[in-house]
């Protein structure tokens, strides 16, 4: 496979070999310069920034926070397009990461739960043989590795002549399933875990990656490592940089000076009232600023695509112990996704609607906004299309090319699907479910949770009920049937492994009143602050 540049170079070589004797050297030089210029203008660098657990309301993009100033995310927005209806492929991280790299949905690639740091190696999803008597369903076991047979973005771009680097979180498998086996030339800090090694502030627990100085922040270091790598490239080849942040995932840790700064800004009546989490958001935004500063200093902004998005919604289930300015202690969730319902590990909007900015020179208008519905899996076919790469053969792609939206137009898209067949037991949790969005309508199917083993449904009109407060399933049965038919078609087309009724189910042990409730309330999270 070739990039556009290699295509022109190969064509020029063939031209020279056949016609050198009849065309003068000066003419050949002119043609070489012309072709080289044309290809260089079309070549694009790619920086893919994937935040971790960063919620839709955790930035100033959408006007739903007074606590988190995000000037560098705003810098991105001023250069490109902000999407108000961008969705992760899952309410948890690893499934979304697999979808970014494959262009497929979790129903197809089988990663539905972030268990990829575990020793268990499982490349195919499955359904359990037996279940607990209080559960209506047999549990689905997720894939635990990103199969190296997949033609991932790293492989595709590397084979097309790109320098490829992965910096930060991976969480798609340890050796032999690391970024180095998925087409990346470099992987820093080469860590398979769900979060940073130990804490955000050094010393860290990475086996072969140590701090440069005491109390170094991992996000500062990752930004430095990424920009150092960019500086070392010779400029002959375009680059693909995965900057997949550790922020703002647990454990909760931040620079003490920033915690102290935000403690004086907390409104205890606001659902966003954690100075520790605010300090983590601040460092996330600073790291993005470091990348932007490098792009500007290197004078490559016009040749560089920058994608910023989160892997799922904000965490509302952990509990952080905080202190107000008078020394009074209080327990709070890290953040709030309001006005959206739910958060990380829920299939409600707060778990899957995420912040997104795309800077794409030649496509996106600076400072523009779009209400088109996109998913993280869409970037795979879009990058292929715009970078002139053929899509891989024998690899089904669920995402779509969103170029029309990037250009300010509308998408010809019928629906998007989100699959989450697990019982996370966080606030607003639902039993194993799948959802479909069609326009402003959203239907959630709860597998076999209706009467007599039938499916149960939640139907919402998001244009009038962004908080998903009113279930319209009973009053709009025709809409339920229409959207559920799309869900069933999608399950059949993708070959999804779905939960099955539990033959050992005992109605006497079933507790429907516990659905949506976190047992015992907020659990104190692992955290460190002075």
Q: Is residue 227 part of a domain?
A: yes
Indicate whether 28 and 169 sit together in one domain: no
Indicate whether 292 and 409 sit together in one domain: yes
| 8: containing domain | 4-39
pLDDT greater at residue 4 or residue 391? 391
Provide mean pLDDT across the span 147-160.
97
**Cα–Cα distance for residue pair 370/248, rounded to 1 Å:** 25
| Share above pLDDT 70 across residues of the chain, in percent, rounded to a whole number | 92
Q: How far is CA 144 from CA 97, 147, 242, 417, in A?
A: 12, 9, 21, 21
Instruction: Say which residue the tokens 């520790």 belong to.
Output: 276
Q: Is residue 474 part of a domain?
A: no
| 491-497 contacts, C-beta under 8 A, 24 or more apart | 491/107, 491/434, 494/105, 494/107, 494/108, 494/398, 495/107, 495/108, 496/107, 496/108, 496/419, 497/110, 497/125, 497/126, 497/127, 497/140
Indicate whether 200 and 181 sit together in one domain: yes
Indicate whether 9 and 75 sit together in one domain: no
Judged against a pLDDT cut of 90, whether residue 369 lies above it is answered with yes
Indicate whether 167 and 203 sit together in one domain: yes
Q: Is residue 483 part of a domain?
A: no
Indicate whether 166 and 31 sit together in one domain: no
Provide mean pLDDT across the span 330-344.
97
Q: Are 182 and 154 in contact (CB under 8 A)?
A: yes
Q: What is the pLDDT of residues 117-129, one digit of tens each?
A: 999 999 999 999 9
Instruction: Say which residue the tokens 């129903």 belong to.
Output: 107
Judged against a pLDDT cut of 90, whether residue 31 lies above it is answered with no
Q: What is the pLDDT of residues 72-107, one digit of tens each?
A: 999 999 999 999 999 999 999 999 999 999 999 999
**Cα–Cα distance for residue pair 278/284, rounded to 1 Å:** 10
Indicate whether 151 and 271 sit together in one domain: yes
Indicate whether 331 and 392 sit together in one domain: yes
Question: How deeply is 36 buried, as exposed, middle or buried, from its count of CB atoms within 10 A (0-12, 13-18, 19+)?
Answer: middle
Q: Which of 366, 362, 337 is nearest to 351 (CA)?
A: 337
Indicate whether 289 and 355 sit together in one domain: yes
**Cα–Cα distance for residue pair 8/330, rounded to 1 Å:** 63
The two tokens of residue 409 are: 């137009």
Provide mean pLDDT across the span 204-224.
96
Indicate whether 325 and 395 sit together in one domain: yes
Q: Is residue 251 part of a domain?
A: yes
Q: Is residue 337 part of a domain?
A: yes
Q: How far is CA 276 from CA 92, 100, 310, 373, 503, in A?
A: 22, 29, 20, 32, 46
Q: Are 247 and 51 in contact (CB under 8 A)?
A: yes
Q: Is residue 375 part of a domain?
A: yes
Provide mean pLDDT across the span 239-259.
97
Q: State how many domains the chain has.
A: 2
Q: How far apart are the first and last CA of the chain?
A: 54
Indicate whether 232 and 295 sit together in one domain: yes
Q: b/e for 182-209, b at 16 or more Cβ within 10 A?
A: bbbbbbbbbbbbbbbbbbbbbebebeee
């Amino acid at each position: 496979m070739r990039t556009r540049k290699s295509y022109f170079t190969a064509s020029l070589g063939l031209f020279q070999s056949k016609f050198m004797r009849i065309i003068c050297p000066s003419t050949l030089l002119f043609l070489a310069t012309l072709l080289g210029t044309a290809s260089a203008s079309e070549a694009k660098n790619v920086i893919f920034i994937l935040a971790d657990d960063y919620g839709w309301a955790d930035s100033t993009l959408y006007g739903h926070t007074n606590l988190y100033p995000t000037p560098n995310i705003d810098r991105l927005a001023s250069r490109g397009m902000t999407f108000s209806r961008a969705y992760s492929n899952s309410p948890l991280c690893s499934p979304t990461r697999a979808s970014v790299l494959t262009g497929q949905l979790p129903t197809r690639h089988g990663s539905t739960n972030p268990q990829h740091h575990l020793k268990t190696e499982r490349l195919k999803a499955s359904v359990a043989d037996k279940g607990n008597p209080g559960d209506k369903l047999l549990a689905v076991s997720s894939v635990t590795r990103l199969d190296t047979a997949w033609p991932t973005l790293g492989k595709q771009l590397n084979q097309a002549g790109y320098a490829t680097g992965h910096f930060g979180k991976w969480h798609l498998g340890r050796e032999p399933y690391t970024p180095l086996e998925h087409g990346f030339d470099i992987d820093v800090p080469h860590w398979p875990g769900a979060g940073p090694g130990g804490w955000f502030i050094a010393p860290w627990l990475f086996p072969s990656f140590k701090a440069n100085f005491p109390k170094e922040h991992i996000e500062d270091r990752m930004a430095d490592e990424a920009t150092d790598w960019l500086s070392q490239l010779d400029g002959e080849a375009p680059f693909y940089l995965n900057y997949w942040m550790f922020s703002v995932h647990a454990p909760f840790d931040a620079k003490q000076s920033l915690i102290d700064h935000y403690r004086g800004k907390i409104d205890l009546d606001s659902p966003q009232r954690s100075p520790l989490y605010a300090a983590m958001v601040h460092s996330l935004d600073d790291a993005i600023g470091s990348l932007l500063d490098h792009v500007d200093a290197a004078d490559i902004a016009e040749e560089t695509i920058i994608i910023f998005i989160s892997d799922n919604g904000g965490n509302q289930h952990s509990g952080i112990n905080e202190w107000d300015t008078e020394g009074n202690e209080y327990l709070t969730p890290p953040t709030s996704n309001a006005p959206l319902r739910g958060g990380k590990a829920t299939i409600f909007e707060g778990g899957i609607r995420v912040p997104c900015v795309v800077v794409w020179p030649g496509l996106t208008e600076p400072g523009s906004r779009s209400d088109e519905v996109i998913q993280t899996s869409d970037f795979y076919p879009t990058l292929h299309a715009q970078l002139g790469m053929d899509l891989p053969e024998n690899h089904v792609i669920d995402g779509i090319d969103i170029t029309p939206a990037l250009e300010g137009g509308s998408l010809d898209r019928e629906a998007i699907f989100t699959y989450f067949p697990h019982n996370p037991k966080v606030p607003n949790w639902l039993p194993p479910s799948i959802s479909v969005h069609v326009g402003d309508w959203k239907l959630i199917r709860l597998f076999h949770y209706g009467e007599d083993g039938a499916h149960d449904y939640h139907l919402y009109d998001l244009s009038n009920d962004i908080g998903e407060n009113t279930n319209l399933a009973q009053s709009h049965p025709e809409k339920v049937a229409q959207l559920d038919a799309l869900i069933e078609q999608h399950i059949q087309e993708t070959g999804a492994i779905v939960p099955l009724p539990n033959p050992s189910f005992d109605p006497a042990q079933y507790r429907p009143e516990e659905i949506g409730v976190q047992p015992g309330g907020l659990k104190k999270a692992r955290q460190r602050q002075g």
